[in-house]
Amino acid sequence: MTYRVCFVCTGNICRSPMAESVFRARVEEAGLDSQVEVDSAGTGGWHEGDGADPRTVSVLEANGYGSEHVARQFQESWFARLDLVIALDAGHMRALRRLAPTPEDAAKVRLLRSYDPVAGDDLDVPDPYYGDVDGFEECLEMVEAASPGLLAVVREHVDGRAA
């Protein structure tokens, strides 16, 4: 049975595709790619059908990550097939929990930086869209820092299903 994780930001062109690419690489490195599916979406549909922001692509590629992506909007019906919905900031988390059809679905929504043990109290990944490439590099650092903790949780769930 496949474990499904979806990363969600605002328009699905900056933060969530970056998180998707980084986490997919971590899943592959861990040898879990046949058991874990990773994707991303936005809370809004403004960029549906677009590729990732060129600055996202540039930062990902400069750091050895894949960057193929087509933006899409998160749909309420997806909760039924997803195991974990990872919000990139508190606003996304609130929007997703409001969209969730059941309390169990709302409980699937978590903040990415909650998996980073040194993140502190500010668990938002800032939106780099209106800034320069430095913001995208900072976003990548935050995503990379949270990925090992998230992978550990996902691995625990996958191992639990296999038992």
Give residue-wise pLDDT tens across range 105-143: 999 999 999 999 999 999 999 999 999 999 999 999 999
Average pLDDT over residues 148-155: 98
Task: Please report the pLDDT score of residue 163 as a whole number.
Answer: 52
Task: Please report the pLDDT score of residue 1 as a whole number.
Answer: 86
Domain of 78 in residue numbering reads as 3-162
At 45, phi and psi to the nearest 5?
A: -105, 15
Q: Which residues carry out catalysis?
A: 9, 15, 127
CB 95 within 8 A of CB 128: no
pLDDT digits (tens, 9 = 90+) for 13-47: 999 999 999 999 999 999 999 999 999 999 999 99
Task: Please report the pLDDT score of residue 160 as a whole number.
Answer: 85
| Domain count for the chain | 1
Residues whose CB is less than 8 angstroms from the CB of residue 134 and which lie 6 or more positions away in sequence, other chains included: none
pLDDT digits (tens, 9 = 90+) for 47-78: 999 999 999 999 999 999 998 999 999 999 99
Task: Please report the pLDDT score of residue 63 as a whole number.
Answer: 98
- pTM recorded for the entire structure: 0.97
Query: Residue 17 sits in a domain of what CATH number?
Result: 3.40.50.2300
